[in-house]
Amino acid sequence: MSGVWRGLAAAVLFVGLWQALVTLADLPPFILPGPVRVAGALWSNVGLIAWHAGITMAEVLIGLALGVGLGIATAIGLAVSPAARYLIRPALVATQSLPVFALAPILTLWMGYGIWSKVVMAVLIIYFPVASAFFDGLMRTPRGWLDLGHTMGASPARLLWGIRVPAAIPSLASGLRLAAVYAPIGAVIGEWVGAAGGLGYLMLLANGRVKIDLMFATLLVLAALTLLLHRSVGWACDRLVARLD
């Protein structure tokens, strides 16, 4: 069975179980609306949801680009500089003891209710996984490849960009796949704390007005966009790794 058919079968099974739960447990719509009611809310509010989805995706994509760029730069800096590994790496690991989500109120206080506090949240949540994965790949370059490069008189820069970075791309790809999932989480957490738009903001707004069907419709759109982003990043990573191989 192809991936498309497996995904379709899983979606049908999920909707069936969802409807069965609502029917058998006799749950009221303000607790768990059925899939038909949620689909109706999605259809009748498609323009509103699309507008807020655009805001969230802008936050996610900007945060993803910045977080990946910073993570790659940090990994390369740590890989080429023993001093940086000695001074900076322990500090980076120590920062992971602080829950990133706890910074959301502070970022909102400092940066306001616009998109940038959410962008920074997305950057913070994906930065370490990307940097850690790429650094690990850079440090695991096969010794034989490096010895061959030295034998051929390759400069340190040539060894880095011609051997170590290409060898570390599969590790970077793993970090990018995680980043594609984590970035929307960071953006939505920031929107829950304080925002003027976005899917997280719309979910809170719908919940406050007891429009639970709209809240679930927004949640499903968020899940679909996250899955699409993850698949797109995974596809791009697979193409890049295959090309390097």
Is there a domain that residue 234 lies in?
Answer: yes
pLDDT confidence bin for 188, thresholds 50/70/90: very high
Q: Is residue 56 part of a domain?
A: yes
Per-residue pLDDT for 130 more than 90?
yes
Domain membership of residue 4 (yes or no) is no
Question: Mind listing the pLDDT tens digit for each residue in 71-128?
Answer: 999 999 999 888 888 888 887 877 777 787 888 888 888 988 889 999 999 999 999 9
The domain of 199 spans 35-244
Q: How many domains does the chain have?
A: 1
Give the type of residue at 237: C
Residue 64 belongs to some domain of the structure = yes
Closest CA to 57 of 233, 235, 206, 229: 229
Looking at residue 70, what is its pLDDT?
95
Residue 63 lies in a domain: yes
Q: Give mean pLDDT, residues 152-160.
A: 81
Report pLDDT for 2: 63
- CATH number, residue 116: 1.10.3720.10
d(CA 166, CA 131): 15
